[in-house]
Amino acid sequence: MFDPYPFARPFLHRLDPEDAHAVTLRALEANVVPGQPRDVDPILETTLFGRRLSNPVGLAAGFDKNGRVFERMGTHGFGFVEVGGVTPKPQAGNPRPRVFRLPEDGAVINRMGFPNGGAEVLEGRLRAKRRPDDLGLGINLASNADSADPAADFVALASRFAPYADYLTLDVSCPNTVNGLEFLDPERLADLLARLAAIAWPVRPALVAKLSPDIDDSLLQRMVAVLLEARIDGIIVANTTRARPPLRSSYAREAGGLSGLPLFARSTAMLARVRELAGPALMLIGVGGITSGADAYAKIRAGATAVQLYTGLVYGGTALVTRIKRELGALLRRDGFAGVAEAAGAGTSASPAVL
């Protein structure tokens, strides 16, 4: 199948990254981006939070902040999509420039600060669009940077978006806003979870927490214990990092969260640790530096029920999704697994049962 991205990439990469992303979203909205092959490999079929998916490869939050194209991403190879982060009120985010490509490192640094149109805009699009039955949907929730009560923001958003999503992500680990890291305090996290538990849910979606790769093992143990006590349904491992491993790009010193290849080893090791702490039954989503089927397989063997990517698309386009799925299917068959659920955690001491 013809892949136009190698021809489009030089043009897009001459633009500011945010401008290039805006062009990409407009092209997807206009339906001029060729879709990926629709063949479904049965070994990749899986279930995530009650939704049957054609494959475990998801689009991470941040790509479709305002729900403009989520319903079309199944045609581009994804099994599920996470929209947002959405805040209650519209938010401009941090001053530009705030996104930097590091092509020498296969990475991106961003300090966007959750720019989005707010809850009303996203809900309007969710109401107006119809997603395919086999496309999972998560909604990433965040508090406004100027909020006096960030927990109240999460409660209001969760109540509002519960009817639309298979899962809601509590983004409690964004390094780029004033309130983004407040709930890395276990006591504040426990309070937030208690307030969410008190909601009179019209429909109860799965609740998922997104963790930071920048916390030490002691804090990680405490946070996972709080999440398990509150009966969280899943954990995403991990968000972007403020750490700076050796990088070649001239943008390496820019402030913000680093994503892409340099995050792969760190986030995968953390994923395996969370699986060990959480036990075999909790659903985990692995994200950070995935650029191949082997990377996705490593996340799954480390304990992931499903995986997400975003930065890889900047350099590989949506054909990368097809390549990941084909390589992942081949690796599962090579090692004698019947499916993704059977392989999840196989590389750890906490190999899960059927999820």
Residue 203 has pLDDT above 70, yes or no: yes
pLDDT of residue 353: 39
* Residue 351 covered by a domain: no
pLDDT of residue 350: 59
Q: What is the mean pLDDT of residues 331-347?
A: 97
3-state secondary structure of 119: helix
pLDDT of residue 317: 97
Which tens digit of pLDDT belongs to each residue from 259-274? Answer: 999 999 999 999 999 9
* Residue 313 covered by a domain: yes
pLDDT of residue 180: 80
For the chain, the average pLDDT equals: 96
Per DSSP, helices labelled H in the chain are 5-12, 17-29, 119-128, 150-161, 186-197, 217-229, 264-278, 293-301, 311-316, 319-334, 340-343
Q: Which residues partner with 163 through β-bridges?
A: none
Number of domains in the chain: 1
3-state secondary structure of 121: helix
* Residue 350 covered by a domain: no
Q: What is the mean pLDDT of residues 214-230?
A: 98
Which tens digit of pLDDT belongs to each residue from 87-108? Answer: 999 999 999 999 999 999 999 9
Residue 179 has pLDDT above 90, yes or no: no
Q: What is the mean pLDDT of residues 173-196?
A: 92
* Residue 348 covered by a domain: no
Q: What is the CATH number of the domain that holds 15?
A: 3.20.20.70
Which single residue is written with the structure tokens 């943008």? Answer: 251
Which tens digit of pLDDT belongs to each residue from 142-160? Answer: 999 999 999 999 999 999 9
CA distance 264 to 142: 24
User: Which tokens belong to 17?
Assistant: 């990254």
Percentage of the chain exceeding pLDDT 70: 98
pLDDT of residue 355: 31
Residues 6 or more apart from 239 whose CB is under 8 A from it?
171, 173, 174, 175, 210, 211, 212, 213, 257
Residue 1 has pLDDT above 80, yes or no: no
Residue 352 has pLDDT above 90, yes or no: no
CA distance 118 to 263: 29
Tell me the residue range of the domain where 339 lies.
7-343
* Residue 220 covered by a domain: yes
Do the Cβ atoms of 227 and 237 come closer than 8 Å?
no
Band (176; pLDDT cuts 50, 70, 90): confident
Which tens digit of pLDDT belongs to each residue from 2-60? Answer: 789 999 999 999 999 999 999 999 999 999 999 999 889 999 999 999 999 999 999 99
Q: What is the pTM of this model?
A: 0.97
* Residue 353 covered by a domain: no
Do the Cβ atoms of 234 and 283 come closer than 8 Å?
yes
* Residue 146 covered by a domain: yes
* Residue 308 covered by a domain: yes
Which tens digit of pLDDT belongs to each residue from 126-138? Answer: 999 999 999 999 9
